[in-house]
C-alpha cells in the first residue's frame, strides 16, 4: 500500500517525469499536491497500470488534488542541456505552475536539482511508494501520451501512437528509412547499434 505522505505537517508535492528514455518528443513532468487524507487503492506507479486505468485515475487526481500542474521541455532544449537536466527543468516548470506553493517536494528517482528554497527528498522507485508521486506519474504519462498520439497524425510512419517515441525496432527502422523529424532528439543515438544507416536527408519531407 502506498504511503500518503512523508511529512504530515508540510504541504507536500509529488513530482515525476515521463519520456526520459525516448528518441523523440518532449519530456513531461507533473507535480501533484494531494489532501493528507487522500485514499485510492487503485493508484500506483503508472507503468503498473493499464492505459484505461491511467486515464480513469487522471480524472480522479485532477478532481481531488489540492493542486496539480504539468511541465514540458522540448526536444531542442533536451539536446541543448541533456536529458537529465531537462527532466529536472520539466519538474521545476510543473512546480512553477502549482496554484498552491508546496513546502516540500517528493521526487521520484535518486537525483534532483533544488527548486528555489523548497527542500526536497528523492525516493528511488517513489512512484510505487508514495501516493503523490504515483499521481504525478499518472498525469505525466497520460499527458505525454496524448501529445505523442497527436504527433503521430503528423508523422504516422514512426508508429508513435504505439511506441510513444521509445526506441523500438519499428521506430528505428522508420528513422533509417525516412530520416529524423524535428521532434527527434538529435543528441540521442537514434539508430542504436549502428546497423542501420541514417539517410543523408535528416528532416522528414
- Whether residue 123 lies inside any domain: the answer is yes
The count of structural domains within the chain is 1
pLDDT digits (tens, 9 = 90+) for 76-104: 999 999 999 999 999 999 999 999 999 99
Output the domain CATH number for residue 35.
Answer: 3.30.420.10
- Whether residue 106 lies inside any domain: the answer is yes
pLDDT score at 199? 46
- Whether residue 186 lies inside any domain: the answer is no
- Where is 153: in which H helix or E strand? helix 131-154
- Please give the Cα distance from 1 to 13 (Å, whole number): 19
| 127 in Cβ contact with 16 (< 8 Å) | yes
Task: Label residue 175 by pLDDT band (50, 70, 90).
Answer: very high
Give the sign of the dihedral formed by CA 162, CA 163, CA 169, CA 174: positive
- Whether residue 159 lies inside any domain: the answer is no
pTM: 0.93
Domain that holds residue 84: 12-147
- Whether residue 194 lies inside any domain: the answer is no
* Of 103, 130, 182, 158, the residue nearest 16 (C-alpha): 130
pLDDT score at 193? 73
pLDDT digits (tens, 9 = 90+) for 16-61: 999 999 999 999 999 999 999 999 999 999 999 999 999 999 999 9
Tell me the CA distances in angstroms from 180 to 22, 73, 173, 202, one per residue in order. 13, 19, 11, 5
- Whether residue 156 lies inside any domain: the answer is no
Amino acid at each position: 500500500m502506498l504511503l500518503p505522505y512523508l511529512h504530515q505537517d508540510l504541504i507536500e508535492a509529488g513530482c515525476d517525469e515521463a519520456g526520459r528514455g525516448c528518441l523523440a518528443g518532449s519530456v513531461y513532468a507533473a507535480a501533484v499536491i494531494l489532501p493528507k487524507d487522500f485514499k485510492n487503492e487503485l493508484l500506483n506507479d503508472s507503468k503498473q497500470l493499464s492505459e484505461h486505468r491511467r486515464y480513469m485515475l487522471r480524472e480522479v487526481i485532477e478532481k481531488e488534488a489540492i493542486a496539480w500542474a504539468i511541465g514540458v521541455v522540448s526536444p531542442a532544449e533536451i539536446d541543448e542541456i541533456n536529458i537529465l537536466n531537462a527532466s529536472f527543468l520539466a519538474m521545476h516548470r510543473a512546480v512553477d505552475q502549482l496554484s498552491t506553493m508546496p513546502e516540500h517536494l517528493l521526487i521520484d528517482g535518486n537525483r534532483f536539482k533544488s527548486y528555489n528554497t523548497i527542500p526536497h527528498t528523492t525516493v528511488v522507485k517513489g512512484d510505487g511508494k508514495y501516493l503523490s508521486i504515483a499521481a504525478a506519474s499518472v498525469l505525466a504519462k497520460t499527458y505525454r501520451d496524448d501529445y505523442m498520439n497527436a504527433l503521430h497524425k503528423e508523422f504516422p510512419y514512426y508508429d508513435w501512437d504505439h511506441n510513444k517515441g521509445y526506441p523500438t525496432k519499428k521506430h528505428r527502422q522508420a528513422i533509417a528509412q525516412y530520416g529524423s523529424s524535428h521532434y527527434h532528439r538529435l543528441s540521442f543515438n537514434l539508430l542504436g547499434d549502428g546497423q542501420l544507416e541514417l539517410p543523408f536527408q535528416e528532416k522528414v519531407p
